[in-house]
Amino acid sequence: MKQIGVLIKTVILLIILLVLQILLTLAFHFLYPESNLQIHVQIAIDISILFVFIMGFFSFYKDKIEINKKSLKPNLIIFFLCLIIIWVYVSPIFKYPFLSYSLNLDKLNICIDKIIVPNRNGILELYPFARLILITPILEELLFRKIILVQLRSKYGIYLSVIFTSILFSISHLDLYNFLIFFIGSVILCIIFLKSNNIKYSIVYHILMNLITILLC
């Protein structure tokens, strides 16, 4: 029953995350109808992830699991870096419909076109870039790897916890066409976290994954 309870809690967190994103987006758009809707969505997503992370932290704190952090060996650091670079390059072929994209650098802008908002002035112009290479990687890793993956692993073991976490991670992006891309990317980040038991590594590699995607676009 405890196993089911943990899974239900993580699913509830995901539902709250999605509902909160929608409500905040509508609220921002109602309060600031002249502003760019895309910016509203991005801010709503980030606030929602932060809120749900805090909820998850206090929801699971009674079952806090002590994890021995360790440093990745240099060969693993290089391996994961190469793996991420290769993944960013080949990931377009996993976009639905599958195999409809050739391995072209101009096809690598999987999600960037949804994130970059051109011709904006002030801080809002920088926000999409800041969230892509800093805010989103940190928030998503804290929620999905630090909270959800750790709790699921304690009840379901490594393999199922990675699968469940990656499914929830993919669903949270509300993007069916890129579902498999998010799923595989999440699996890689889960493995990195599990190898080190240190959230800093998965955050750094998540940032690198996004940054490399931008540089190759």
- Res 109: pLDDT: 42
pTM of the model: 0.82
Neighbours of 144 (CB within 10 A): 27
- Res 60: pLDDT: 78
- Res 29: pLDDT: 87
How many independent structural domains does the chain possess? Answer: 1
Neighbours of 210 (CB within 10 A): 22
Residue 17 structural domain: 2-216
- Res 18: pLDDT: 95
Kindly state the helix (H) or strand (E) to which residue 85 belongs, with its residue range. helix 74-90
Alpha-carbon distance 152 to 167, whole Å? 13
> Helix or strand or coil: residue 99?
coil
pLDDT means per 10 residues in the chain (217 residues)? 77 95 93 83 93 89 60 87 89 67 43 45 70 92 95 92 97 90 96 93 95 80
The tally of CA atoms less than 13 A away on the side-chain side of residue 60 is 27
Query: Burial, 12: exposed, middle or buried (Cβ in 10 Å; 0-12, 13-18, 19+)?
Result: middle
